Amino acid sequence: MALLDLVKSPRDLKNFTPQQLGQLADEVRALLIEKVSATGGHLGPNLGVVELTIALHRTFDSPKDAIVFDTSHQSYVHKMLTGRADQFDTLRQKGGLSGYTDRGESEHDWTESSHASAAISIVDGLSKAFALKGEGHRNAVAVVGDGALTGGMCWEALNNLATTKSRNAVVVVNDNGRSYSPTIGGLSENLSYIRAQHGYDELMEHGKKRLKQLGWVGERAFDALHAMKEGIKSTVMPEEMFPELGMKYIGPINGHDIDALNHAFSYARDYEGPIIVHCVTEKGHGFAPAVNEPNDQMHSTGAIDPVSGVALKESQPGWTAAFSEELLAAGARRDDIVAITAAMAGPTGLQPFADKYPERFFDVGIAEQHAVASAAGLALAGLHPVVALYSTFLNRAFDQLVMDVGLLGMPVTLVLDRAGVTGSDGASHNGVWDMAISSIVPGIRVAAPRDGSRLRELFQQAIEVDDGPTVVRFPKGNLLEDQQAVDTLADGVDILHYSDNTDEASPDVLIVSIGAMSQRSLDAAALLEAEGVNVTIVDPRWVVPVPQSVIGLAGDHDLVVTIEDGVMRGGIGSLVSEALSAAEVDTPHRRLAFPNMYPKHASRGELLQEVGLDPAGIAESIVGWVSDLTEDPDSE
């Protein structure tokens, strides 16, 4: 019987011998490769924390002790050790395991946000609460990557955490030198210095051998080794990683040595006060295709061959690639174009620009707030910054967008990848909030391309704007087939469809289709026309502010319906309603958008269908509204 089959809760690990723990690590790693290669997911990060997670759960008492995984994409091993190993066939599937920690799945999961750099703050709050409740014996543990430590929120938390010495708060730094790609900045350089300090590793190995000769084992040996480390560091390794914070620091620990990890975590568990445990791991450890992959080391992958690591499905032309090509073209034409990423040059399509124009490319680490404020500075000096982010991460930079870019009227172009419903990435990775958030910034212009050709056109238009911020947003995945307009109005609004029906008795419906909802709108129109409804479909392209021609067309129809994959509250439909009211257009208006909820993990199509944003759902809603208007012409 496999050892992993015996693990129903973390407490079962306490009965395993050191040799069995090594075998368990091998089984966990094999299961990760087998299951994630079939479903897709975050393979590299989880392969790197197998031993670390086993040691955490062997040492601490979850869920009494709170273990909080920052970002939590590296929580697959944690899920296996907390009774969910047999559910990995459902990973990231509708109704199955989430790709992140999920409070609805297990009492061992304390959070479910997939945004980085928040775990230390949460642990600060947990440890305060434990102390206030007289539960000082409970530990709160943050597992945070060196990449996440480039986010300023970590340092705000560390600054605060260090002020109270009596709390049991443990910060485990999972240092693999990477986030999505190699970690950058002064922090990364300092960590590398600590790892590679001349003479340190050799001295420690000599010390281990000497202690073994003396017969010192267990806690006694660990205390001696720790004292030795402190002595070495005081002479050859200055502690520059956490200057003047006043927090206990131990490490670096080999993050693939379960015995060393057990000793380190036992020391941290019993230490009275906040403590940092620095563990050095290898992303993708144990799977050569991940370790040898030079870019993201299989940070996130689709279905792959479990032996070679080769993708099982050829990638199709995607939205990100189309944007990347246009950015390169813009960079060749204009030397004032600069590009900024928050640790995601590859995923957001900026890497080709970085390779060709390295002096005009800036990776600021996982720090979206800094990225947007820095962009304001670049714009103040006469450049045109292009800030490429995942849509969901714009949430973090909202203040900077409003106050540092918008208020100053700076020409900064934000390119938002994975906008709208992203599907299997989970609740906090969906980009359904960006239009509601960005649309309230005075003077902003927001574009939502429906296909690759419109993406190219709208991006080039965006970077020509010199009196305020612009946003270009597009969804995750493959490009949609180009939808050619049957007419284009003077203000750039595209007419995608007119009904051929000339029966004046038929109700006329104006569908305002936002971005990538165009094909669904066209398919819904065919269903509506079969029900005797005349349909006009327009794509505003620039959705903020609302184009005047949309207001004009609204007056010529019996019903206006906006269709978007953003949130209902505060979305483009809300703006259209306000514009119709201000223009005293009394045509009834209805909105189809994502409800006020956090979308769970499922495919994009499944989620849109669930909330009535598939063609059949759209047609059904509109038929119902038309019927209501026919029965009560004065209905609004």
* Distance between CA atoms of residues 176 and 41, nearest Å: 19
Q: Which has more confidence, 184 or 507?
A: 507
| pTM, rounded to two decimals | 0.85
pLDDT greater than 50 at residue 200: no
Strands (E), 531-625: 534-539, 542-544, 559-567, 589-594
pLDDT greater than 50 at residue 504: yes
For residue range 123-136, what is the model confidence (pLDDT) as tens digits? 999 999 999 999 98
User: Can you list the alpha helix ranges (DSSP code H) found in 271-357?
Assistant: 288-291, 319-333, 351-356
What percentage of the chain exceeds 90 in pLDDT?
66
> What local confidence, expressed as pLDDT, does residue 13 receive?
95
> What local confidence, expressed as pLDDT, does residue 633 receive?
56
For residue range 208-246, what is the model confidence (pLDDT) as tens digits? 565 566 555 555 555 555 555 554 443 333 344 554 567
Please give the order of strands across the beta sheet that includes 534-539: 487-488, 494-498, 534-539, 508-513, 559-567, 589-594
pLDDT greater than 90 at residue 358: yes
pLDDT greater than 50 at residue 494: yes
Confidence of residue 615 (pLDDT cuts 50, 70, 90): very high
CATH architecture group of domain 494-631: 3-Layer(aba) Sandwich (3.40)
Domain ranges of the chain: 20-197+237-291, 319-473, 494-631
For residue range 238-286, what is the model confidence (pLDDT) as tens digits? 344 554 567 888 888 999 999 999 999 999 999 988 999 999 998 888 8
* Distance between CA atoms of residues 293 and 310, nearest Å: 11
Q: Mean of the pLDDT values across residues 505-531?
A: 95
How many residues comprise the chain?
636
* Distance between CA atoms of residues 566 and 597, nearest Å: 11
pLDDT greater than 80 at residue 486: yes
For residue range 102-161, what is the model confidence (pLDDT) as tens digits? 999 999 999 987 888 899 999 999 999 999 999 988 999 999 988 888 888 888 998 888
For residue range 386-401, what is the model confidence (pLDDT) as tens digits? 999 999 999 999 999 9
Number of Cα atoms under 13 Å in the Cβ half of residue 240: 14
Residues in CB range of 402: below 8 A, 6 or more apart: 441
Do the first three CATH levels of 319-473 and 494-631 match, i.e. the same topology? yes
Q: Mean of the pLDDT values across residues 526-536?
A: 95
Q: Three-state SS string across 10-43, please?
A: HHHHHHCCHHHHHHHHHHHHHHHHHHHHHHCECH
Binding residues for thiamine diphosphate: 73, 114-116, 147-148, 176, 287, 368
Confidence of residue 30 (pLDDT cuts 50, 70, 90): very high
Contact 563, 548 (CB under 8 A): no
The CB density around residue 177, as the number of other CB atoms within 10 Å, is: 17
Catalytic residue among 396, 473, 520, 604: 396
Of the candidates 309, 374, 388, 311, the residue with the CA atom closest to the CA atom of residue 346 = 388
Contact 151, 138 (CB under 8 A): no
Residues in CB range of 632: below 8 A, 6 or more apart: none
User: Can you list the alpha helix ranges (DSSP code H) found in 560-611?
Assistant: 572-582, 604-610
pLDDT greater than 90 at residue 450: yes
Angle at the Cα of 405 from the Cα atoms of 594 and 367, rounded to 5 degrees = 75
578: which 2 tokens?
């306000």
> What local confidence, expressed as pLDDT, does residue 96 receive?
92
Phi, psi of 80 (to 5 degrees): -65, -40
Contact 193, 238 (CB under 8 A): no
* Distance between CA atoms of residues 560 and 580, nearest Å: 10
Contact 3, 23 (CB under 8 A): yes
Distance from the first to the final alpha carbon of the chain = 67
Binding residues for Mg(2+): 146, 176
Binding residues: 73, 114-116, 146-148, 176, 287, 368
Q: The tokens 């040799």 sit on which residue?
A: 19
> What local confidence, expressed as pLDDT, does residue 204 receive?
54
Of the candidates 515, 452, 449, 420, the residue with the CA atom closest to the CA atom of residue 326 = 452
* Distance between CA atoms of residues 387 and 401, nearest Å: 11
Residues in CB range of 51: below 8 A, 6 or more apart: 25, 255, 256, 257, 258, 261
Residues in CB range of 294: below 8 A, 6 or more apart: none
The CB density around residue 315, as the number of other CB atoms within 10 Å, is: 10
| Active-site annotation holds for 283 | yes
> What local confidence, expressed as pLDDT, does residue 550 receive?
97
Catalytic residue among 283, 418, 454, 520: 283
Catalytic residue among 105, 112, 368, 564: 368
Average pLDDT for the chain: 88
* Distance between CA atoms of residues 222 and 315, nearest Å: 50
Phi, psi of 143 (to 5 degrees): -105, 110
**CATH 3.40.50.11030 corresponds to the domain 20-197+237-291:** no
> What local confidence, expressed as pLDDT, does residue 424 receive?
82
Phi, psi of 128 (to 5 degrees): -65, -45
463: which 2 tokens?
């970077």
290: part of which helix (H) or strand (E)? helix 288-291
| Active-site annotation holds for 368 | yes
* Distance between CA atoms of residues 448 and 538, nearest Å: 13
* Distance between CA atoms of residues 376 and 371, nearest Å: 9
* Distance between CA atoms of residues 499 and 537, nearest Å: 9
Residue 159 amino acid letter: N
- CA dihedral (431, 434, 437, 441) in degrees, to 10, reads 160
pLDDT greater than 50 at residue 624: yes
CATH H-level superfamily of 319-473: Thiamin diphosphate (ThDP)-binding fold, Pyr/PP domains (3.40.50.970)
Is the backbone of residue 559 left (phi > 0), alpha (psi -120 to 50) or beta?
A: beta
Q: Three-state SS string across 74-104, please?
A: CCHHHHHHHHHHHHHHHCCCCCCCCCCCCCC
DSSP helix/strand/coil, 191: helix
